[in-house]
Structure 1
Amino acid sequence: MNPDDLKQMLDALKAADVREFSLKTGSFSLDLKRGPQAMGGPASQPSAAAPAPRMETAFDAAPESNPNPAPSAPLASAAPAESAAPAPSASKGAPVKAPIVGTFYASSSPDAAPYVKVGDTVAAGQILCIIEAMKLMNEIEAEAGGVVREILVKNAEPVEYGQTLFLIE
């Protein structure tokens, strides 16, 4: 990855207001974390990847944007809501988690019907949704068959890596 590629990636992540981003290709690993606790704070987690060349950096919002305390307030208030929401639903089925950071879309286009609705029976390999990441549309498929018990994300809502999207029983 050359410096121009890295700059383009950082600009795209800033524009999309992405807080964390990881990229692994072959022996190259890149972890980007943004915000006041980006480097070594309590919010960061160690990587479980095999020893590989690793670059870690923090990137800040453009100077003309709001100062850092304002963006950290919504993050702090969102964290308890995310941790509290899956707990009551855990008994309703197996979670389908976001494999990447991006924007959740329930259908292939704004005019199309959603891929699945609560109560639908799905088969392994069936498309459940799309997550857009850096202008790439990634189809998320069911790993196992079952009945969709809950959809935990709204259409066009940003999702984080590992966030539970669906519960399938």
Structure 2
Amino acid sequence: MATTKKPFDTDLIRDLAMLIAETDLTEIEVAHGDLKIRVARNVTITAPVHMAPAPSYAAAAAPSSPPPVPPSAPGTAAPVSDFAGHPGLVKSPMVGTAYRAAEPGSAPFVDIGSKVREGQTLLIIEAMKTMNQIPAPRAGTVTAILFDDAAPVEYGEPLVVIE
């Protein structure tokens, strides 16, 4: 009766797997001559996420009539849904806080109706204590500003429309 020779020692692999399970190791490799055995495990690290409590809208009293807001007033955020597919939409390239001016009290980089050239700074996004200038991707006229000054913005959030 012929015996089949194992190409490697399965007991050794089991022992290595048990060693990884019992310790904080993520992988182990053993070499003997031409034979190399590497056993590894995937480790997923999750960090706790602190969530702010959701605002309670039920407790807020609804106003009898909303205050009138001029649709094209400079500095007023326009409804984002109106510009969702607009070709001149400038989206946020990062998460951070968006500012319309270089410093508090100074003139904003652009207003509605401002003529801009390609590469001109439209706004600044502060991310991790770094001020990042957001340039105009094309020349044109600013027709909408879709964020509030000093407001947090998310990646991909619509910011400005240039026509």
The two structures have a TM-score, normalised by structure 1, of 0.52
Report what 2:8 is aligned to. none
Distance 1:73 1:57 in 2: 29
Distance 1:110 1:56 in 2: 40
Give the alignment partner of residue 57 of structure 1, picking from 46, 58, 71.
46
When the two chains are superposed, the root-mean-square deviation of aligned CA atoms in Å is 2.6
Q: Give the counterpart letter for 2:103 in structure 1.
A: S
Residue in structure 1 matching 2:81, options 62, 66, 87: 87
- The percentage of aligned residue pairs carrying the same residue is 42
The question of 1:98 aligning with 2:81 is answered no
Change (3 A) 1:111 1:71: same
**1:73 & 1:58 partners in 2: Cα distance?**
27
- Separation (CA, whole Å) in 1 of partners of 2:133 and 2:91: 13
State the 1:72 CA deviation. Answer: 8.1
Matches within 5 A, 1:11-26: none
What is the distance in 1 between the residues matched to 2:91 and 2:138? Answer: 13
Listed as ranges, the gaps of 5+ residues in structure 2 are 1-43, 58-78
Q: Is the 8 A contact 1:93 1:149 kept in 2?
A: no
- The structure with the greater share of residues assigned to helix is 1
Q: Which has the larger radius of gyration?
A: 2
- Number of aligned residues: 100
Corresponding residue for 1:162? 156
2:125 pairs with 1:142: no
Q: Report the counterpart of residue 116 of structure 1 in structure 2.
A: 110
Residue pair 2:83, 2:89 contacting (<8 A) in 1 also: no
TM superposition shift of 1:132: 0.2
- CA spacing shift, 1:99–1:91, aligned 2, 3 Å: closer
1:70 matched to 2:53? The reply is yes
Matched, 1:128 2:111: no
